[in-house]
Amino acid sequence: MTLHTPSPAVAAALASGTPVVALESTIITHGMPYPQNLEVARQVEADVRSGGAEPATMAVIDGRLHCGLTDTQLEALAQAKGVAKLSRADMAACMATGGTGATTVAATMIAARIAGIGVFATGGIGGVHKGAEGTFDISADLMELAQTPVTVVAAGAKAILDIPKTLEVLETQGVPVIAYGQDDMPAFWSRSAGLPAPLRMDRASDIAAAQKMRTALGLPGGQLVVNPIPAEAEIDRATLAPIITQATQDADAHGISGKGVTPYLLQRIFELTDGRSLTANIALVRNNARLAAEIATELGKLAQQA
């Protein structure tokens, strides 16, 4: 049983040994409106290609897992209504019933593993929500990182989360958290969360070598590479803190819970920052795509040496 359909470009890249970078699709269907979502998706794919790799945007369409989308499919997905938001728990059900769904971090990692792709670029990972000691609201992304062997390049955990607790869970699960080019842990829209990162690496080649070494050691799971947002695009922590507090209070007041929390908070923060948060989000995703292409290229070099 063939579980996935690679796009012609991704199939050719995998066959020729060209580096491939996986990309998620919830940023397209749930992150911003049409046509901006399509414009950004194309920009991110172009960033990957400019780094010498082939992008593979993941999505389930009519029950079929697509690893890489044609531009026609990308445009259709950007305009689709009622698209499911897929994680580990509901990905198989969506495929089995012929549904259409966009992939979160966890689902994209699963798709990448199936397709044989070792690197994935996203915006920010999910994590431990504030108040999780009472709600037990912890993203499946963290457990996916512990078991699926893909290097994920993100700008840290989303700043709306409890970052110290998120780091604790990642440590418990044995997930390496590697800050790229700095000692601080970045926090999505901000370059620093005010916390030291567990690990630091300054070269894509070192990150690739670490992934190869994990495989050689037989260690399960992937790596989380936290890449700070470009300085010119960041919203500093001091500016964001009261805005996040306000957005969180608004969510509580409206009884928002479960899967609805993150999209509500992101939309509310967009409103409270007069759109700056979305501009920053686009900048950091594109920055992560460029770094992921570098890492994928270095992994390709290591594979040729083997």
3-state secondary structure of 9: helix
How far, in whole angstroms, is CA 58 from its chain's centroid?
11
Q: What is the C-alpha separation between 170 and 242, in angstroms, rounded?
A: 26
Residue of 85, 158, 294, 298 marked catalytic: 158
Tokens 């390496």 — which residue?
Answer: 176
Q: What is the C-alpha separation between 273 and 277, in angstroms, rounded?
A: 6
Element (H, E) at 75: helix 71-79
**DSSP letter for each residue of 193-258:** -SSB-SEEE--HHHHHHHHHHHHHHT--S-EEEE-PPPGGG---HHHHHHHHHHHHHHHHHTT--G
Strands 64-67 and 54-61: antiparallel
Contacts of 85 (CB under 8 A, 6+ apart): 26, 29, 30, 101, 102, 104, 259
Element (H, E) at 21: strand 20-23
Active site residue 24: yes
Q: What is the C-alpha separation between 25 and 40, in angstroms, rounded?
A: 11
Q: Which residues are catalytic?
A: 24, 158
